[in-house]
Amino acid sequence: MKPTRKILLSLILCVVALSDACLGQTRSAADARASETKFLDMKSVPDGHFLVNLQGDGRERLVNIEVKDNTAKCVNSNDAPLKGLQGKFQVIGNGVFVIFFQNENYRASQYWLFRNDGSAVVKEVPDRGEKQTAVPVATDSLDLPKKTDDHGDRS
């Protein structure tokens, strides 16, 4: 592995560890080990839909990405030039994947850093400090999933 790739991977893992610690999430040690093992062992991005918020040019755009066999395609967006984006995920390791999206209007390289809940932090290359996430959803809708409380009730 090239030294720059090792450094980049180390930096990404540090960001993930720090962001999880800063969010103040508390879990039992057993739960933490079990869920960390699941996403640390990921060899591919799970099939299904992900709702991604993209930030740039002072605005937020939503895209619904459908993943099948590690191939991703934008199937819905509130910004027409982003529709049809396609790319293929490549595993870096420890729940981190890289993808190069492109269509005739747009190109972007992203790192997806998966978390215990199945969502992913999305970092653009170059990173400009955007707060972007990919949340698993059931359909190609642009509606955010409703949150559940500790009792399983939806709000």
State the average pLDDT over residues 103-128.
93
The listed CATH number (2.170.120, 3.30.300, 2.40.128, 1.10.10) that belongs to domain 3-137: 2.40.128
Which pLDDT score, from 0 to 100, does residue 83 have? 93
Beta strands in the chain (DSSP E): 48-56, 59-68, 71-77, 86-88, 90-93, 96-102, 107-114, 120-125, 132-137
State the average pLDDT over residues 95-110.
95
Which pLDDT score, from 0 to 100, does residue 6 have? 53
pLDDT over 50 (residue 25): no
Q: How many CA atoms lie within 13 A of 15 on its CB side?
A: 18
Q: CA of 40: how far to CAs of 9, 34, 84, in Å?
A: 13, 10, 30
Lowest mean pLDDT among 27-31, 72-76, 84-88, 132-136: 27-31
* Domain boundaries along the sequence of the chain: 3-137
Tokens of 142: 């642009």
State the average pLDDT over residues 125-143.
92
pTM, two decimals, is: 0.72
pLDDT over 80 (residue 120): yes
